[in-house]
Amino acid sequence: MVVLVDAGGTNIGSVRYALQRLGADAALTADAAAIRAADKVILPGVGAAGPGMARLRELGLVDVLRSLEQPVLGVCLGMQLLCAHSEEGDTGCLGLIPAPVRRFVETPGLRVPHMGWNGLSVQREHPLLAGLDDGEQAYFVHSYAAPVGDWTLATADYGGAFSAVIAHGNFHGMQFHPERSAAVGARLLKNFLEL
């Protein structure tokens, strides 16, 4: 059983449809017992770190998410919320992946937010990246990103390398939108379902 955490993200519907195309009917829930009982948990998200964490606190899900032992995937803001801290609103996050989240520095020719297709560069082998070739493209929309570190599985480059796919224990994240990333996104979601 796969569940999508109903944390108020606007991309929940499109993530759900992407999973349905892969044969997974993911329940949308904010129920702690259902999240604990799931085989796989996905935390989608679009928006800002502060309101995202406030919503998880309001739903009583912070400790629930921190206690999970099954595979968990954060998508876009969901990935950032799995990290330690976000510069966005000076927000303490879930602390499940020991990465900071920082705003892109605006420079001439580098618009923030980073929006559009960008190539992925595999940094180390992991079942989540099975079948992914270096340079394959994913679709990004974000102003904040985690730097490259021990948690990094794949990077992208936007004024410098940043973490595009991360993992630490059973917690995983994709900074891009797999549900909007065509065949590459479908493959990575399928890999997550098979972890």
Which of the residues are catalytic? 76, 177, 179
Residue 106: how many other CB atoms lie within 10 Å = 11
d(CA 34, CA 14): 21
Residues in the chain: 195
3-state secondary structure of 155: strand
Which residues, in sequence order, are CB contacts of 130 under 8 Å at separation 6+?
A: 187, 191
Residue 83: how many other CB atoms lie within 10 Å = 27
Using a 10 angstrom Cβ sphere, with 0-12 exposed, 13-18 middle and 19 or more buried, the burial of residue 26 is buried
One-letter amino acid for residue 73 of the chain: L
**Nearest CA-CA partner of 57 in 32, 76, 34, 74:** 32
